[in-house]
Structure 1
Amino acid sequence: MSQTFGEFGLKPFLLAALTELQFKAPTEVQAKLIPVVRAGKSVVGQSQTGSGKTHAFLLPIFDGLEADNHEVQAVITTPSRELAYQIYEDAKQLAKFSPEPLRLGNYVGGTDKRRQIEKLEHEQPQLVIGTPGRIRDLIKTGALDVHTASQFVVDEADMTLDLGFLADVDQIAARMPEKLQMMVFSATIPEKLKPFLRKYMANPVVEEIPVKSVISPTIDNWLLATKGHSKNALIYQLLTMGEPYLALVFANTKQRVIEIATYLKQQNLKVAVIHGDVPARQRKRVMREVQNLDYQFVVATDLAARGIDIDGVSHVINDGIPEDLDYFVHRVGRTGRKGLPGTAITFYSPDEEDQIEALEDMGITFKPKEIKNGEVVDSFDRNRRQKRAKKTVKISGAMAGKIHKKKQKVKPGYKRKIKQAISKEQMYERRLKQRQDRRTSKKQKKSSSQRYQ
């Protein structure tokens, strides 16, 4: 494995760009894939969030761009606008060091399509970065010409599939040459993605970077029970007690994002808001302001979980556990990047115990915490009762069935009701035994008296 970027044979301007980024050594995915991409081979890269995969494809693409060729040479699609903006910013940083100007195009939904078409009529970008729907639309109008491209990157392919954009990606790929170097990057490779891979990729190099830990070891992963507490008040308390450098608060719905943001603004905090209904132009502006550290607090839906890649995110707060547990990893992975420390705080209530256990089954370890006297302190292990030696109570099969049925319904107070039911059954069993004992005693007395008459 290469230990320095200089060993890849990249153009000098790219090494200068990496120096500005203070990238000293390639990550594992970069070390494995940069030589493969530079060799012109198609690849499927499977790696965890924060692995450095963006530069694993950007560096070899820029290394091969021809500044005097004014046609489209490479296309990169990504499922979210935020991620497209992020990759575009990374690409601009590399292009800044090029001795000859390189033209980059950023095309996402919700932006001014007419203006983009007018600009494309005068010149084509050499590198296209955007969301599948908008790129497909520009190709269909004839404004964007991708038949000259030799490289195609499908980033976050599993998310592209989940959000229903794979058909758009398919249409884009169909307009490209048969001899196309395709690079697909994904956290997972679902079965439904495999037909697409087989259609466009013949014998790709498959690199699966093993997950050393589900979340970075530099992240302090806390679990905070919300029972009897206002979640809004807890979020405010956590955001103000430790003076985080930059904190991201993730909620499961845009309605909940609005509720949290409204509450925090009422407490005089300056808060950025990112969710699907925020217009694209405004989201782009907010993302730029967040990157410039104009905001210290961001409240967002999972839309941003893969799109925010900002150095210095010190805290992530999960207002609730996401339905798709993979998103938990993406959320928490916004902090603790590049070896920096970070704190992730997840709220949970008793009815979310199954989700917490499922996350633990994935290899995620939590530290139980609570807030006391304005400080976050260690709390008790929520499984402490299970770990105690339990006194066994013999119950009937019928009662066991009732308990199982009640557990499945998980209604409030079911434990108390079951306890009462068991007590009643035990009392009934005791009374029955007492009656049987009295009858047996009477029979024995009667038999004894008859024997001596």
Structure 2
Amino acid sequence: MTKFSQYNFNDAINKSLKEIGFEEPTPVQEAVISLINKKKDIIVQSETGSGKTHAFLLPILNAITKDQTVQALIATPSRELAYQIYEDTQAILKNYSEEYNAFIYVGGADRDRQKRKLDAHQPQIAIGTPGRLWDMIRENDLHVDDVQRFVVDEADMTLDMGFLDDIDHIASKMPENHEMMVFSATIPQRLEPFLKKYMKGPQRVELKNSSIIAKNVDNWLMFAHGRDKKEMIYQLMTLGSPYLALIFANTKKSVDEIYNYLKSKGLKVARIHGGLSPRERKRVMKQVENMEYQFVVATDLAARGIDINGVSHVINAEIPDDLDFFIHRVGRTGRNKMSGIAITLYNPGEENKIAELEHMGIKFSPKDLKNGEIVEAYDRDRRTQRHATHEKLEPKLVGFVKKQKTKKKPGYKKRIRQAISTDKRQKTRIKNRQAMKAQRDKRRGS
């Protein structure tokens, strides 16, 4: 079993790792750190929460020098994730005997103050959102002439949020011999032209989870039956005692409605979405980290852009339009092998979205809320099949269908379809014979 001590990190990093309780690298760290040490361009596809941040931070920080030049640039699509990476960087640098600087550049921060700080000296590590980083580079405040390593974190989210042009501009200003590292949960086809443009024979690392939803997460599905989802969420949150619950909705409006409802019920709840000012979002995130809130309502910004520790429950108040975000949402719970519960609420007419998620390999346990309790519910497919076939088939065929489903041997679905088709043909022939007999009887009587 690999230990961090085997990587020959400097004493300051080893001390910091011990303080934050890191002993063994995650699979992505084990796969990536050695490649970065070999100065390879890399494209890393790994699930949310797999430890990608320290996979690039540790070898980068181990290699920085005292030169007052920007040696590594890290771009990430959200302010929250930029602050998270900055704090992780400071936690590693704290035991260095000499001062090494990491600066953060995000929208909403005092730009003039950032410029004055850069006039005094350049940081060894620059972390920020693409738009603000490009502004500082374009105006020649942040100097990237000596950058050795350029990290694009959460690349698919960067693409989705329209920041790829800024990343393109930044990459065009990099020295020719710099190393580029792209980290992402998914690598969309639309990202490939950018990767080919700026990367030199990149090493691709793809780590897929053995199951899409971690085995230690109970993944529940609840049919709303047209009920008020806000009331259902309140009941779910007060039935047990969540350590920390994340409630996801698709829009700022929906987040506000759920937030206001839960607040009116007396719950101490926070909200996070793009409509809040950067300062307010930062304040709320700090309060959440300090465990001042037990319930957080958020848009998908929180699913990808931040890492909240100790999430015991995730509730999907709405199914995301981009179904990949479902995985990112549920991935916020069940971290570090802790148990978690994910609950998805859906309305009539959304069965097709559930079917698509199941087609992606996501398995649900149907549940329902009855008389203030969570109870087992019928599977949607069984219920649909019952209405579609059992009520129309002969009792003998119903038994056959049940028997085949129980066996679930290869081709059982095909055998069921063939049996149903045969039954229909037989009924049609019987019906036709009866009609012909009736006609003959009629002729005889006339």
Map 1:284-323 onto structure 2 (within 5 A): 284-323=282-321
Q: Distance in 2 between matches of 1:112 and 1:381?
A: 54
SS at match of 2:28: helix
1:382 matched to which residue of 2? 380
1:400 matched to which residue of 2? none
1:51 matched to which residue of 2? 50
Q: Distance in 1 between matches of 2:207 and 2:78?
A: 23
Q: Distance in 1 between matches of 2:346 and 2:234?
A: 16
1:106 matched to which residue of 2? 104
CA displacement, residues 297-320 of structure 1 (integer Å, 9 cap, x when unaligned): 111101111122122111111001
Structure showing greater Rg? 1
8 Å contact kept, 1:155–1:186: yes
8 Å contact kept, 1:308–1:334: no
Deviation at 1:387? 4.7
8 Å contact kept, 1:48–1:211: yes
Deviation at 1:346? 0.6
Q: 1:109 is matched by which residue type in structure 2? A: G
Deviation at 1:81? 1.4
Q: 2:58 is matched by which residue type in structure 1? A: L
Map 1:353-432 onto structure 2 (within 5 A): 353-388=351-386, 390=390, 392=392
Aligned residue pairs total 410
Map 1:33-432 onto structure 2 (within 5 A): 33-66=32-65, 68-388=66-386, 390=390, 392=392
Q: 1:13 is matched by which residue type in structure 2? A: A
Q: Distance in 1 between matches of 2:124 and 2:379?
A: 56
Q: Distance in 1 between matches of 2:349 and 2:249?
A: 17
Q: 2:390 is matched by which residue type in structure 1? A: K
1:450 matched to which residue of 2? none
Structure 1 ranges of 4+ moved more than 4 A: 386-389, 391-394, 436-439
SS at match of 2:336: helix
CA displacement, residues 259-290 of structure 1 (integer Å, 9 cap, x when unaligned): 00011111122221111111111111111111
What's the Cα RMSD here? 2.2
1:27 matched to which residue of 2? 26
Q: Which moved more, 1:350-359 or 1:326-335?
A: 350-359
1:14 matched to which residue of 2? 13
Q: Distance in 2 between matches of 1:445 and 1:216?
A: 74
Q: Which moved more, 1:255-264 or 1:140-149?
A: 140-149
CA displacement, residues 96-142 of structure 1 (integer Å, 9 cap, x when unaligned): 12222221111111222122112211121111111100000111121
Q: 1:6 is matched by which residue type in structure 2? A: S
Deviation at 1:211? 2.4
8 Å contact kept, 2:77–2:157: yes
TM-score, normalized by length of structure 2? 0.87
Q: 1:242 is matched by which residue type in structure 2? A: G
Residues 442 and 343 of structure 1, relative CA distance in 2, 3 Å threshold: closer
Residues 292 and 442 of structure 1, relative CA distance in 2, 3 Å threshold: closer
Q: 1:4 is matched by which residue type in structure 2? A: K
Residues 97 and 374 of structure 1, relative CA distance in 2, 3 Å threshold: farther
Q: Distance in 2 between matches of 1:309 and 1:198?
A: 30
Q: Distance in 1 between matches of 2:180 and 2:138?
A: 21
8 Å contact kept, 2:226–2:348: no
Q: 2:380 is matched by which residue type in structure 1? A: R
Q: 1:36 is matched by which residue type in structure 2? A: L
8 Å contact kept, 2:77–2:305: no
Q: Which moved more, 1:133-142 or 1:89-98?
A: 89-98
Q: Distance in 2 between matches of 1:270 and 1:121?
A: 44
Query: What percentage of residue pairs aligned between the two structures are identical?
Result: 53
Q: Distance in 2 between matches of 1:196 and 1:84?
A: 22
SS at match of 1:144: coil
Q: Distance in 1 between matches of 2:93 and 2:109?
A: 23
Q: Which moved more, 1:117-126 or 1:173-182?
A: 117-126
Q: 2:274 is matched by which residue type in structure 1? A: G
Q: Which moved more, 1:313-322 or 1:209-218?
A: 209-218
Q: Distance in 1 between matches of 2:83 and 2:443?
A: 91
8 Å contact kept, 1:218–1:336: yes
Unaligned runs of 5+ in 2: 395-426
8 Å contact kept, 1:76–1:155: yes
CA displacement, residues 357-407 of structure 1 (integer Å, 9 cap, x when unaligned): 11111111111111233222222222223455635579xxxxxxxxxxxxx
8 Å contact kept, 1:220–1:342: yes
Unaligned runs of 5+ in 1: 395-425, 447-453
Q: 2:307 is matched by which residue type in structure 1? A: D
SS at match of 2:174: coil
8 Å contact kept, 2:42–2:180: yes
